Amino acid sequence: MTWVSVVIHGMLLGGVYALLASGLSLMFGVMRIINLAHGSLALVGAYMALLLTEHLHISTYLSLAVVLPGALIVGYLLQRTMLERSLRAGQLVPLLTTFGLLIVIANLLQRFFSPDVHSLDAGRIGPASWQVSSSLTIGWFDVLTFGLAFAVLGGLQVVLKYTQLGRELRATAEDPDTAELVGVNARAVYARATAIAVATAALAGVFYGIRSGFDPNAGANELLYAFEAVVIGGIGSLWGTLGGGIVLGVAQSVGAQINTEYFALAGHVVFLVVLVLRSMRQAGALRLLRGKVA
Amino acid sequence: MIEHAHPAATVPGFRVERWTWLSMAFSGGLAGLVVLLAFAPLLVGANTQTNLIQLFFLVIMAMMWNALAGYGGLVSVGQQGFIGIGAYAAVFLCVQHPLNPYVSMFLGALIGGAIAIPVALVVLWLKNGAFAIATWVVAEAFAILVSLDPNPAIGGGTGTSALLPFNFRYTPDQRLHYTYWAALGAVAVLLLLLFVLLRSRLGASLQAIRDDEEAAASVGVRVLLGKGILFVIAGAGSAAAGAIILAWQLSIQPLGPDSIFGINWTAKMIFMVLVGGLGTFEGPIIGAVVLYVLQTYVSNGGVWYFVMLGGIAIGFALLAPRGIWGTIQERFNVQLLPVGYRLRTGGGR
């Protein structure tokens, strides 16, 4: 029975990772770049919420009213100032600049917020839980987070499928030059995609920060977990990302049940096993191809 | 780079050259410098030697990262995993099985190369950003595994020290001299290895891979093999740097951005290569000297130091992607260590 509880908690944890991963996945889908500073931007969202709750004495959820619009603006400016230039310089440069940003953010956070672990207040919903059976309790906050992840992924899906912005995003993802020919402003589309991605990152960062403590270097783990969720779920599929997040969450939860120190390691191992299986499949395909070339 | 032009091909008005008087003089000068540096322990004080050891492992790291990114198009953010493995393998061998510390360091580098083989099989299928993050995950997994090892030679999360095995055999002065020579030797061997490798047929195919992977594959270049060789060399070289760091600072920890498995090493590598010149042979050496000067005269460690490293790296990536040496090369058309061929016009033979 405890194992059922472990798996269910892992699945709910997966919601946070799916939320973190959605922006990463969106940017990769539209621009073919992986933003290595994605986790750090999520973390900045959490620290901004911390600042607001501490100084204005408002609830963490209310602080989102400021944090999310702020994140949209940051994302837009980030694209216009740094990423756009990086994209033009080839495939490797965006990795180098976003890695530089990751280092800058981690150290600035350390400078202004100290290296200590902080956490965000969950509010009245924090301690509330639902006793299902003697060994299974489900926290309302966990359910809220999972529901939010579901809503964000679903919302992104709807936007991509049915709105003008979504059509422009998909067209630009497919072929930016042709999209320009039919009147899409690819630069503006990229900037909007990054703005949305950074906003989802900040939202995820706040919920991650309520769930578990964070320090200035937590952005690295948030990036790795988000990316693992994307890869396990299969790159390019938003619902796959939710599935990937759930698998990752369950793996970590089961790992931690065996030994608390196996939490992160179990997730990394599952991710690497998925990679090995994929590469074996690709190796098979490659052997066929090589036969043709040679 | 001109892969298929035979150096002796003669077209009126053009000639293809590899060695020039300048590059011959410089290569000879560099060899002379290495010999001269080998005598440094007899000439300079302990402080200078300690600083030079630091410069040497920075040069190794920059060369290895540049070999991956500049020649293989592989942006790794996980070389710290191999740095950590090199250091921990060395400390394990000299504490647990009382091997000579310097033999342990050498074996640590080889173990790093050996572990890079299975890692390469997993990560080399991935492209660009996916490759980058996968290498980081591997490095994190190594760090966690080491931190969970309760063996007293490893020390779990609190770390370990190689002080006893070194002190058992050597006086502090001897340790300094031998570590200095080991570091210099590692720089010289790895520099020569990369130089020979990049001038070989493999070097030409590697640069073809970097410029256009699909086109290279279509003319028969074995893309994965080329990348795999680079990855294994970079694994061994990074592990060698880690082993030298162990002998230099003696105690190591596995967790945190400043540890032996820390992401800050990658920040330094990217800084050095971008500042020096990505994809040039000479660039990483220049970048290492720049970082060394910054560390020695401006700031070493601390929050602002890393903000500065990250900021300067972003600036170079956006505004001067060829780095210091690439820019000089472009303007004056010089190559001091000849790894490619150059086309000269007008001089016809």
* B39 located within any domain: yes
Disruptive mutation site among B221, B303, B304 for chain A (greatest number of A CBs within 10 Å):
B303
Structure-model confidence comparison of residues B280 and B300, the more confident one: B280
In chain A, domain spans: 2-293
pLDDT value of position A282: 74
Rounded-to-integer distance, Cα A118 and Cα A213, Å: 5
pLDDT value of position B2: 42
CB distance from A228 to chain B under 8 Å? yes
Estimate the crossing angle of helix B283-297 against helix B264-276, to 10 degrees: 120
Closest Cβ opposite residue A107 in set B69, B307, B314: B307
pLDDT value of position A294: 44
Rounded-to-integer distance, Cα A138 and Cα A69, Å: 31
CB distance from B263 to chain A under 8 Å? yes
* B6 located within any domain: no
Rounded-to-integer distance, Cα A24 and Cα A93, Å: 17
Percent of chain A with pLDDT over 90: 65
B contacts of A86 (beta carbons < 8 Å) = 317-318
* B3 located within any domain: no
Bridge-based pairing state of the strands B342-345 and B14-17: antiparallel
Q: What is the pLDDT of residues A194-219, one digit of tens each?
A: 999 999 999 999 999 998 889 999 99
DSSP summary character for residue A261? G
pLDDT value of position A80: 93
CB distance from A269 to chain B under 8 Å? yes
Quick check: A95 and B140 CB within 8 A? no
* B2 located within any domain: no
Q: For chain A, first and last CA: distance in Å?
A: 57
Structure-model confidence comparison of residues B5 and A114, the more confident one: A114
Quick check: B317 and A28 CB within 8 A? no
Rounded-to-integer distance, Cα A250 and Cα A262, Å: 12
Percent of chain B with pLDDT over 90: 50
User: How many distinct structural domains can be found in chain B?
Assistant: 1
- Region B132-148 average pLDDT: 94
Question: What distance in Å separates residue A238's CA from the closest CA in chain B?
Answer: 17
Quick check: A97 and B318 CB within 8 A? yes
Quote the tokens at residue B125: 């299928």
**Residue B1 scores a pLDDT above 60:** no
DSSP letters along A225-240, please? HHHHHHHHH-TT-HHH
Quote the tokens at residue B301: 């460690």
| Residues in CB range of B185: below 8 A, 6 or more apart | none
User: Structure pTM?
Assistant: 0.91
Rounded-to-integer distance, Cα A24 and Cα B257, Å: 23
Quote the tokens at residue A278: 């994929």
pLDDT value of position A67: 95
Write down the architecture of domain A2-293 according to CATH: Orthogonal Bundle (1.10)
Rounded-to-integer distance, Cα B235 and Cα B116, Å: 5
How many CB pairs below 8 A link A and B? 140
Residue B276 β-bridge partners: none
Rounded-to-integer distance, Cα B84 and Cα B262, Å: 8
- Phi-psi sector, B220: left (phi>0), alpha (psi -120 to 50), beta: left
Do residues B88 and B159 lie in contact, with contact meaning Cβ atoms separated by under 8 Å?
no
**Residue B9 scores a pLDDT above 60:** no
* B319 located within any domain: yes
Q: What is the pLDDT of residues B255-282, one digit of tens each?
A: 988 899 999 999 999 999 999 999 888 8
Q: What is the pLDDT of residues B85-94, one digit of tens each?
A: 999 999 999 9
Average pLDDT, chain A: 90
CB distance from A178 to chain B under 8 Å? no
* B4 located within any domain: no
- Here the ipTM equals 0.92
**Residue A1 scores a pLDDT above 60:** no
CB within 8 Å of chain A, chain B residues 112-131: 121-123, 125-126, 128-130
Rounded-to-integer distance, Cα B241 and Cα B86, Å: 7
Q: What is the pLDDT of residues B93-112, one digit of tens each?
A: 999 888 899 999 999 999 99
**Residue B158 scores a pLDDT above 50:** yes
pLDDT value of position B20: 74
**Residue A32 scores a pLDDT above 70:** yes
Average pLDDT, chain B: 87
Rounded-to-integer distance, Cα A278 and Cα A280, Å: 5
Confidence of residue B4 (pLDDT cuts 50, 70, 90): very low
pLDDT value of position B302: 78
- Region A131-149 average pLDDT: 87
* B236 located within any domain: yes
Structural domain boundaries, residue B230: 23-345
Question: What distance in Å separates residue A174's CA from the closest CA in chain B?
Answer: 18
- Region B176-196 average pLDDT: 93
Q: For chain B, first and last CA: distance in Å?
A: 21
* B64 located within any domain: yes
Do residues A61 and A242 lie in contact, with contact meaning Cβ atoms separated by under 8 Å?
no
CB distance from A108 to chain B under 8 Å? yes
Q: What is the pLDDT of residues A39-85, one digit of tens each?
A: 999 999 999 999 999 999 999 999 999 999 999 999 999 999 999 99
What is the three-state SS of A15-29? HHHHHHHHHHHHHHH
CB distance from A128 to chain B under 8 Å? no
CATH number at residue B157: 1.10.3470
DSSP letters along B121-156, please? HHHTTS-HHHHHHHHHHHHHHHHHHHHT---TTT-G
Rounded-to-integer distance, Cα B333 and Cα B349, Å: 20
**Residue B342 scores a pLDDT above 80:** no
Do residues B35 and B244 lie in contact, with contact meaning Cβ atoms separated by under 8 Å?
no
Structure-model confidence comparison of residues B300 and B261, the more confident one: B261
CA-CA-CA-CA torsion for A211, A212, A216, A218, nearest 10 degrees? -90
